[in-house]
Structure 1
């Protein structure tokens, strides 16, 4: 082995030293030769591993930094999705004529709308469709993404999702009529829904087990950061500039993500063993032994092909049916709690509360609370049980909405002096508690209550159902406010949170610290009894 490596070394270094330098550097050459021999004996495998793979990000030998950076890059898609959600709050007030979407006539929004010279002037119904069509497009984008990524690869699928987003922002910025807005929002929604299904599997494939819980939460953090970004650019009071700035996010995402390798699991499923090994080495660094992980990947691929199930087969067993009921129930109460109407129409809601502060500034404070709570939710999920956190989250959301409603009715009946901090505090508390519990836990439970071979099918169904509910509640919000007023609409959302609390108490199992087998047995109604140990005493009888 040493002779082979020395021959390689001398083959590369063909330049010979000058004769007058031989004697001067003899001692140094002897010392270098001994060091090279030591490196060959101890570091030969590391040298060969460096040759096989792409250079790691910043020469990260442990792979941890590489995984964090790669997860941050792929979750720029979630950041772009958050900006799409916040666009409605920032841009719709600029596209309205003096009559707002809701039944009351807020003076602040009228002033903002009159200060701009937009080519479009939307009616109430048109503004409602413009906001909600994003969610309808997300339904159409979420369901087929899993199948598409299996055939074309996870990286290619996620990479080319940037193109519909850029097209949608250009259409929204330059459309001469409302139909261009409709198409632009729908096309953007296709990417938003596809990101919600395509990003988590890619992160799961590249992350080490001890880092997966932290890296999986990057999606929710980046989504919240995108919402905050959308609120911040809303201070420009120009729909064209808001759209163009939001369009820079998918462009940056495409440029950064193109340099990352394909998912090792997908490459292994396609029989590309060497490429899968090189990709996994990229994410693990040169200091980690990946042989055991490669073997595990092979075994997972074999099991996946044997146990691969269709959408219909999810309904074939009692445990998966109950798991679907739990997932769908959590998605229903998550969306019907009113989180998307609050995020989509933040400026309108604050204006109807007669918030004296600048409306874009109030929305920015709301977005900052959303981001900070999402960031700290990882620590809460590590320490607090899922059921407890869900019940605390639903109950606090109901209290926050209830306090908002009481303030709204007091303000309307007694001509209470306009203020800022009470509605801003209650709505910020609402989104903060949502981000800490009700927001991430239903997605987290999808990986905990389903078998691994059924997780991605179930995720696609749950994601499509999630965005369908988001579309329905966002479209319904306008009609609720017109028919019964903002106060009673918020009472409705508070009552949904209370029903969600009851649902969690009676139907949602605890998954923290429990194995999949235990959870599945609970769904099947199997309660393992504690094993009893029978002690048999043997007496020795001495012969007399």
Structure 2
């Protein structure tokens, strides 16, 4: 029996099921990131199951190495996904995640721990390069934004899940539970279809029609299935008209270059909005802020609080992104995040001048920053590249921009604390705030709305904006 007959004809339930399974490796990746908070506290304590506590330098390398590995892997995973397909690449991501958990189970040797964390970098690159693209390519325009936000929801849920079980269960049980996630995923995902766009690219037209029919809970000769197939085929033919190296072509084509600029600005701005150092150094920031005040939280309580705020933000993003549109949501979260970071910087500056300020301000502003990141900045930076580029360019665009983002994350984690100590932590937060406020202005002036729009319409907007800028320059001259 055909699988599409299981549900009402025209239902989007198969797309939702497929998108959930596509993003299940992200849950495992989120758990990998969340693992650092409670487990390194344990491994550095006197009760460490390792016998000898980890040093600060060892923990720093365990935290930073995934981002270093992620830089080359972002581009490598993009190439693999274009060559062998999205489906095989997603399965490979889960296998890398499983290998990481197995290594953590097998040894406490520091080099094994670092190698296990290095594999997290491989998983990270796949989750943020392949999973958003794959999700976009199996989704109808009406729900692609909501399903695209699943990557952030699963990431934040994975973080919170590990924070909670890290406080309740012992070291080995946690690792066995985490190992189950990629193992179950590999088995379940074997039954999912390949991306129709990839199948069309490979000339497998019958398989593409079959995949579209299953995703739309319909028959292969259904009008909507044929229309979607024609759109994908037209997109592929447009890509084939020029056989140049795709990245080179992007920089020589004015419209593509402008689209790439938008994706790069949105992606890199998100990385320096303050969320990365806040999530990784929340304990130090809270401890610094709570000096001489009654507001004290344990490190794991702080992690749970921020993790819960992340999940709430990502749930909101999935709920409202199709109603509000990409542009309003990105603008609002950039603006609020910028104001909150500037308020936090001012709070630290006032404290340095011995001016009394409410002790709850750091907690509130950090929660606002994390909420804005997970509800707008992060999901839109993931959804936008898939909507603003065709199949030919999606992989290389995601690969190169995420590689640059990984470099920024690595440098932030390595130098945030030394720079904050050298110039004052308030300068760091003012910098994050200014970046977010500039991003809000950029959204209003430059970025087009992409909600439920085809690529052709989006590019017409980009071309019009470019023409208006040129006309203004000519008029001034």
Return the TM-score normalized by structure 1.
0.75
The Cα of 1:222 is off from its aligned counterpart by: 1.4
Q: How does 1:376-391 map to 2 (within 5 A)?
A: 376-384=316-324, 386-391=326-331
Partner of 2:467: 525
Aligned positions, number:
459
Structure 2 CA distance for partners of 1:292 and 1:490, relative to 1, 3 Å:
closer
3-state DSSP of counterpart to 1:209 = coil
1:319 aligns with 2:261: no
The CA deviation string for residues 460-485 of structure 1, in whole angstroms up to 9 with x for no partner, is 22222222222221222232244345
3-state DSSP of counterpart to 1:144 = helix
Partner of 1:294: 229
The CA deviation string for residues 327-380 of structure 1, in whole angstroms up to 9 with x for no partner, is 222222211122112223334433443452343233212111111112212454
The Cα of 1:527 is off from its aligned counterpart by: 7.4
What CA distance in whole angstroms lies between the structure 2 residues aligned with 1:246 and 1:326?
Answer: 36
Kindly indicate whether the alpha-carbon contact (under 8 Å) linking 1:90 and 1:231 is maintained by their aligned counterparts in 2. Answer: yes
What CA distance in whole angstroms lies between the structure 2 residues aligned with 1:318 and 1:268?
Answer: 27
1:78 aligns with 2:31: no
Q: Higher relative contact order at CA 8 Å, sep ≥6: structure 1 or structure 2?
A: 2
User: Cα RMSD over matched residues?
Assistant: 3.1
Q: How does 1:124-139 map to 2 (within 5 A)?
A: 124-139=56-71
Partner of 2:116: 184
What CA distance in whole angstroms lies between the structure 1 residues aligned with 2:109 and 2:357?
Answer: 40
Gaps of 5+ in 1: 1-49, 97-112, 530-544
The Cα of 1:397 is off from its aligned counterpart by: 1.6
Structure 2 CA distance for partners of 1:275 and 1:330, relative to 1, 3 Å:
closer
What CA distance in whole angstroms lies between the structure 1 residues aligned with 2:467 and 2:358?
Answer: 55
Return the TM-score normalized by structure 2.
0.85
3-state DSSP of counterpart to 1:262 = coil
The Cα of 1:159 is off from its aligned counterpart by: 0.8
The Cα of 1:432 is off from its aligned counterpart by: 0.7
Partner of 2:155: 223
1:158 aligns with 2:158: no
Kindly indicate whether the alpha-carbon contact (under 8 Å) linking 2:30 and 2:157 is maintained by their aligned counterparts in 1. Answer: yes
Structure 2 CA distance for partners of 1:451 and 1:252, relative to 1, 3 Å:
closer
Q: Work out which of the residue numbers 432, 445, 449 in structure 2 matches 1:511.
A: 449
Kindly indicate whether the alpha-carbon contact (under 8 Å) linking 2:236 and 2:391 is maintained by their aligned counterparts in 1. Answer: no
Kindly indicate whether the alpha-carbon contact (under 8 Å) linking 1:89 and 1:345 is maintained by their aligned counterparts in 2. Answer: no
Partner of 1:198: 130
What CA distance in whole angstroms lies between the structure 1 residues aligned with 2:59 and 2:65?
Answer: 10
Structure 2 CA distance for partners of 1:318 and 1:269, relative to 1, 3 Å:
closer
1:441 aligns with 2:383: no
Gaps of 5+ in 2: 472-477
Partner of 1:14: none
Partner of 2:474: none
